Amino acid sequence: MTTQARGSFTLSDAVRQFWRHPSPWALALPFVVALTARIIIGGWQLTDFVVPAILVLTFPLSEWGIHVGILHWRPRSVGRLTLDPLLARKHRAHHRDPRQLELIFIPSQTLLWLIPAAVAVPLLLSGRLGLGLTSVVFLTGIGLVYEWTHYLIHTDYKPKTRFYKAIWRNHRRHHFKNERYWFTITTTGTADRLLSTYPDQSTVPTSKTAKNLHGLAR
């Protein structure tokens, strides 16, 4: 990552750099379109508030599950076939070089199917256009929050608030202390506390594989 000297990298610098990458735009476009369409359509119902609340409340668990089950996937062999998804390979590279910008964001190859799915699935399953659009707004909005938070943690921007400092500290521990703990990114250890991956850091040994997940050289 090429930035200014540490300590001089401001939030404005971070914002400008953030929008130079395709992932934020890929999420922001459907977010704006869906939000505009939802406002025009109107016809708000109780489910337009219940569904977003469920999405927001359960996201820490979804985030934890994706991080553990997909991003930290250990390559497996089935006969002559090796199961090693792109996201897992990219995430191993991210752990090897946490400051490389391209490895912080959702890969472009993943966006090609993730964005259409985030739009089509809610619209097809909701049973009501308004609710489908509401779901799209919150799914893409949550995605933007995730991308921004993960990106900012890996920049030279120094935490200014207690809340952000806690999030920043947790993810730094995951990268530089022990990769087996502290899997949540956008919250202060909510799912980690629930799923027993939020230990007292003083009791956790520094991992030799934090930068080389599973001890793999690739």
In this structure, is residue 127 part of a structural domain? yes
pLDDT at 189: 82
In this structure, is residue 218 part of a structural domain? no
Helices 108-125 and 86-96 cross at an angle (nearest 10°) of 130
Domain span at residue 83?
23-163
DSSP string covering 77-117: EETTEEE--HHHHHHHHHHH-TT-GGGTSPPHHHHHHHHHH
pLDDT at 216: 78
In this structure, is residue 113 part of a structural domain? yes
pLDDT at 215: 87
In this structure, is residue 193 part of a structural domain? no
Residue 46, token pair as written in the block: 């109780």
In this structure, is residue 200 part of a structural domain? no
pLDDT at 5: 52
Can you give the pTM of this predicted structure? 0.93
In this structure, is residue 186 part of a structural domain? no
> Are 101 and 1 spatial neighbours (Cβ–Cβ below 8 Å)?
yes
In this structure, is residue 118 part of a structural domain? yes
Q: If we measure between CA atoms, which residue out of 60, 102, 100 comes closest to residue 197?
A: 60
Q: For the chain, 218 residues long, give each residue's pLDDT as a single digit of tens.
A: 444 455 689 999 999 999 999 999 999 999 999 999 999 999 999 999 999 999 999 999 999 999 999 999 999 998 889 999 999 999 999 999 999 999 999 999 999 999 999 999 999 999 999 999 999 999 999 999 999 999 999 999 999 999 999 999 999 999 999 999 999 999 988 999 999 999 999 999 999 999 999 887 54
Q: How many domains does the chain have?
A: 1
